[in-house]
Amino acid sequence: MQLLFRRILPGLFAVAVAVASGVAGADYLRGRWRRVSEGHWSRAIAAVRAEDAESRAWSRVLRERATPLRALRDLRRPDDVVVLRVRPGVPIVEVSQVLMAARTLVFPSPVLPEFEFRRELAAKRLALDESIVVLDLAPETPPEFAELFDRSAKGRDWALLRWRGEAR
């Protein structure tokens, strides 16, 4: 019994850790070698050495996140009305992410509140049929905007909004 508890079982534990280390280690070192051989390093260094590194990084973000967001960069202009075109079929989770991104990027301009409807939709990862969101990024957002959005979002998968005299 003493042999079992003092030697065999702890030995099994040590073997389990060794096996996990081996599998994870092989995976890790293979992955790092792949990064070198597939040019991740050279691309990253080239991007940094480019004159407009920040602009290139922005371009990459836009490219990687081209859907669902089309006009991310424009969001930096705080007085614009920006239209986010969301491709049909994009999971609502991603749309929620886009709105978060928009909100952070346009700060300190006020943007619409989206968390009230996020929970019920995000959990279901619903696909969208028709999705255009217009954000008014003027310095003062009237309270009706939030009310309008809340009302539109209720009972629907998504809201089609227009703003500033445009039809909705």
Partner 1 sequence: MTASALAIALLLPLATGAALLRAAGLDPRRDLLGFLAAVYPAGALLTGSAQFLTLRLGFHPASPATPIVLAALTLGLAVIGAKRAAGEESAWTVPLRGRGALRWAGEAFFVLVLLAALGDVVLVGLQRLGEPIVSGDSAAIWTIRAKMIFAHGAIDADLPDTLNEARGAHHLDYPLLGPLLQVWCMGRAGGLLEAGLQWPTLGWYASLVLQVLAVARRRIGPAAGAALSLVYLSLPTITVVVGGTMMDHVVALAFLGLCDRILRLAEEDGDAGPNLALLGVWAAVLVWSKNEGTMLLAAAALGSLAGLRAATWRRALGGPRAAWLALPAAVLVLHRAFNRTYGFDNDLMTGGNGRDARPLPTMLRENLPTKGGDILAFFWESARDFDRGRGLFLLFAAGVLLGGRPVWTAPLRFLTLAIGIGASGYFLAYVISFEDLRWHLFTSADRTTGQLFGAIHLFLAARLRRFVVD
Residues that bind partner 1 (CB under 8 A): 5-6, 9-14, 16-18, 20-25, 27-29, 31-32, 35, 40-41, 44-45, 47-48, 53-58, 60-61, 65, 72, 76, 97-98, 100-101, 103-105, 107-108, 110-111, 113, 115, 119-120, 122-123
Shorter beta-carbon distance to partner 1: residue 139 or 165: 139
Burial class (CB in 10 A: 0-12, 13-18, 19+), 117: buried
Shorter beta-carbon distance to partner 1: residue 110 or 163: 110
Shorter beta-carbon distance to partner 1: residue 110 or 133: 110
What distance in Å separates the CA atoms of residue 165 and residue 168, rounded to the nearest whole number? 9
Helix (H, G, I), strand (E, B) or coil at 105: helix
What distance in Å separates the CA atoms of residue 149 and residue 55, rounded to the nearest whole number? 33
Smallest distance from partner 1 to CB 69, Å: 8
Give yes or no for a cis peptide into 91 (omega within 30° of 0): no
Shorter beta-carbon distance to partner 1: residue 130 or 140: 140
